Structure 1
Amino acid sequence: MSDRLLVPYDGSGPAKDALEYALEKFPDADVVALYVAPVPEGYWVAFQDPEERIPAADRARDNGRDILDEAAELAADHGRNLDTEIATGKPDHEIVDLAEEEAYDTIIIGSHGREGISRILLGSVAENVVRRSPIPVIVVR
């Protein structure tokens, strides 16, 4: 039985590095790229018309599909197939929850995503995944 690897993927440089690492270092593993469409949070969401939230969520999921298409092309360049998933919510929570629910063996995550590039050690999502995950996490930088 081969390993099942979950690679959170947002199209950023570190996410691409993490996906390439997974594809190169685990040639027999089943690799799944996950895009998490974040949901708006905070005080201002309470004042937003619920009908306005749905198109925004749809746009975020469409954007995620485009990003995951890029990931699939990257995998094809490495001669590999790639399964993809889209979730909606807080990225760190969705990553850990999916990894637990779907019995992945390892999470391979970029050190930071599109935001938080100035963080010295880890982006907040990667840091929270490392702290919360009950399975091994490999951080690629």
Structure 2
Amino acid sequence: MADRILVPYDGSPQAAEALEFAFGKFPDATIIALYVIEVPDGRWAQIVGPELQIPVTERAQEYADDLLGSATEIATEHGRSLETNVVTGEPDHRIVAQAEEESVDLIVIGSHGQEGISRILLGSVAENIVRRSPVPVLVVR
């Protein structure tokens, strides 16, 4: 059974479904909602790498806090507590890195996020996480 579960959360309906699924199927697990402030491909992403953080604007941090506030509301509706975390970088790389740093047993992710369906069945971020993750990944559709 999974004791620590990472749920990437971007405010999309699919992310909310993944979070609700995690609460419903894993009642005793610690759930961590992660929001990644995306850093565009380019020099910064190449220089910084997945383990370092780029300073973010106050507006970006407020947006992240608001999104994770909605995740906390979902937790409250389920009578659960929720750990939250905000990181910067390329979402798929940061999610995999965070799974390792947080020593999670499982990643529960929505099939695609706010950007919609970038592939026929599975979003590109979810697909990359499935391919790279050091722990099992459960994709919620």
What is the TM-score with the length of structure 2 in the denominator?
Answer: 0.86
Distance of 1:126 and 1:39 partners within structure 2: 17
Is contact 1:39–1:57 with CA below 8 Å preserved after alignment?
no
CA RMSD of aligned residues (A): 2.0
Determine whether 1:138 maps to 2:138: yes
* 1:128 to partner: Cα distance: 0.4
Query: 1:51-85, CA deviations, whole angstroms, 9 ceiling, x for partnerless residues?
Result: xx96x633222111100000000110011111100
Tell me which structure has the larger Cα radius of gyration: 1
| TM-score (norm. length: structure 1) | 0.86
Matched, 1:14 2:14: yes
| Structure 2: gaps of 5 or more residues | 44-53
* SS of aligned partner of 1:139: strand
Distance of 1:119 and 1:61 partners within structure 2:
29
Q: 1:102 to 1:115 in 2, by over 3 A?
A: same
Which ranges in structure 1 are unaligned for 5 or more consecutive residues? 44-52
| Identical residues among aligned pairs (%) | 62
Cα distance in 2 for residues equivalent to 1:91 and 1:58: 19
Q: Are positions 1:92 and 2:74 aligned together? A: no
Aligned to 2:4: 4
